């Protein structure tokens, strides 16, 4: 069975690595936080003392780190991991990072004779635990073919978005749409309620009308409208506002590179920055509702 090194065992990485173990892959794991490594060791993974230790002799390396700087810090430079990998090793970089940053790592990997895919995910911690993540993959189709069994152990929908960096572009486009929809829904909910409507009635009318969207289907931001939505649990769990702000920032960076006009994305970023300034960065991103009611 394929031997995999997994680096970055946070909210997403830990359950993803666990699913690889369950699928029978050989796994060696590393995180800067020893407790996460110990947890997986108890479940049958080998524990590594460093990233370099984790990848020694492995055929595949997966990373799931917070942001571009962590990924570039891990892989690039004289002491970076790419320099330590055997030619032919497959690198699956699953963090959400800037497309430009992903392309830098792709290029350095290619220069070393390594195969790499950028493969950010959607589906949150619940999807990571259930093994139903969506992977948006950038890189060569033949390399994706090789990686399919690994992605399928962690996800349900695996899309080839295009060449190097394309997975990251797809991810930031998707999250920009999600943020804009969430803000528009929160704004309309507050408007309707202020004008005397019952929030549940308004939510249902919009859901079944032309304003219907994913946030009205699955994730209403008004507390009490959907029992299991983070809004009904004090905006806990779910997808943190600070991660949404990060992704909106990446979308703006990508727009800067190409000169694209993204006014809705820019406004969404400003509103999420405001939430961060209010100390709400760690709450679910539907907490944007509170900008319109407090």
Site residues (vs ligand NAD, CB under 6 A): 7-13, 30-33, 36, 51, 64-66, 70, 74, 95-96, 121-122, 124-125, 239, 243
For ligand NAD, the closer of residues 101 and 220 by Cβ is 101
> CA nearest 235: which of 293, 156, 170, 175?
293
Distance of alpha carbon 39 from its chain centroid, rounded? 22
For ligand NAD, the closer of residues 135 and 292 by Cβ is 135
How many CB atoms sit inside 10 A of residue 197's CB? 14
- In whole angstroms, the minimum distance from the beta carbon of 51 to ligand NAD comes to 5
- In whole angstroms, the minimum distance from the beta carbon of 239 to ligand NAD comes to 5
- In whole angstroms, the minimum distance from the beta carbon of 94 to ligand NAD comes to 7
Maximum Cα–Cα distance across the chain? 65
Distance in angstroms (rounded) separating the CA atoms of residues 169 and 178: 14
Q: What share of the chain is helix, strand, coil (3-state, %, to 5)?
A: 55, 15, 30
- In whole angstroms, the minimum distance from the beta carbon of 31 to ligand NAD comes to 4
Instruction: Please confirm, yes or no, whether 233 is among the known catalytic residues.
Output: no
For ligand NAD, the closer of residues 26 and 124 by Cβ is 124
Structure tokens at 63: 């990373």
Query: What is the β-pairing status of strands 60-63 and 90-93?
Result: parallel
- In whole angstroms, the minimum distance from the beta carbon of 161 to ligand NAD comes to 15
User: Do 63 and 95 meet the contact criterion of CB atoms below 8 Å apart?
Assistant: yes
Active-site residue, from 22, 146, 156, 171: 171
User: Do 127 and 136 meet the contact criterion of CB atoms below 8 Å apart?
Assistant: no
Nearest residue to ligand NAD, by Cβ distance, number only = 10
Distance of alpha carbon 277 from its chain centroid, rounded? 23
User: Do 62 and 7 meet the contact criterion of CB atoms below 8 Å apart?
Assistant: yes
Distance in angstroms (rounded) separating the CA atoms of residues 133 and 129: 9
For ligand NAD, the closer of residues 9 and 202 by Cβ is 9
Bridge partners of 18, per DSSP, are none
DSSP 74-98: HHSSTTSGGGGSPTT-EEEE-S---
For ligand NAD, the closer of residues 75 and 222 by Cβ is 75
| Residues with catalytic function | 171
């Amino acid at each position: 069975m394929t031997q995999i090194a997994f680096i970055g065992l946070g909210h997403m990485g830990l359950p993803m690595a666990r699913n690889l173990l369950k699928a029978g892959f050989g796994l060696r794991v590393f995180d800067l936080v020893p407790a996460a490594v110990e947890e997986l060791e108890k479940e049958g993974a080998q524990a590594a003392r460093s990233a370099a230790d984790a990848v020694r002799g492995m055929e595949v390396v997966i990373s799931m780190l917070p942001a571009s700087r962590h990924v570039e810090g891990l892989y690039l430079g004289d002491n970076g991991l790419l320099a330590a990998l055997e030619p032919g090793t497959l690198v699956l970089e699953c963090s959400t990072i800037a497309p430009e940053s992903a392309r830098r790592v792709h290029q350095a990997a290619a220069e070393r004779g390594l195969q790499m895919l950028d493969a950010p995910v959607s589906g949150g911690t619940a999807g990571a635990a259930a093994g139903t993540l969506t992977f948006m993959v950038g890189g060569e189709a033949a390399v994706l073919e090789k990686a399919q069994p690994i992605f399928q152990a962690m996800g349900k929908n695996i899309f080839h978005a295009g060449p190097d960096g394309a997975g990251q572009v797809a991810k930031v486009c998707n999250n920009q749409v999600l943020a804009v929809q969430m803000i528009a829904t929160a704004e309309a909910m507050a408007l309707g309620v202020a004008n005397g409507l019952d929030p549940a009635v308004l939510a249902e009318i919009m859901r079944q009308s032309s304003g219907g969207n994913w946030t009205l289907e699955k994730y209403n931001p008004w507390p009490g409208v959907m029992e299991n939505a983070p809004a009904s649990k004090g905006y806990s769990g779910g997808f943190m506002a600070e991660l949404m702000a990060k992704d909106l920032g990446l979308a703006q960076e990508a727009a800067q590179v190409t000169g694209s006009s993204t006014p809705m994305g820019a406004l969404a970023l400003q509103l999420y920055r405001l939430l961060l300034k209010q100390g709400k960065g760690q709450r679910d991103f539907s907490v944007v509702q509170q900008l319109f009611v407090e």
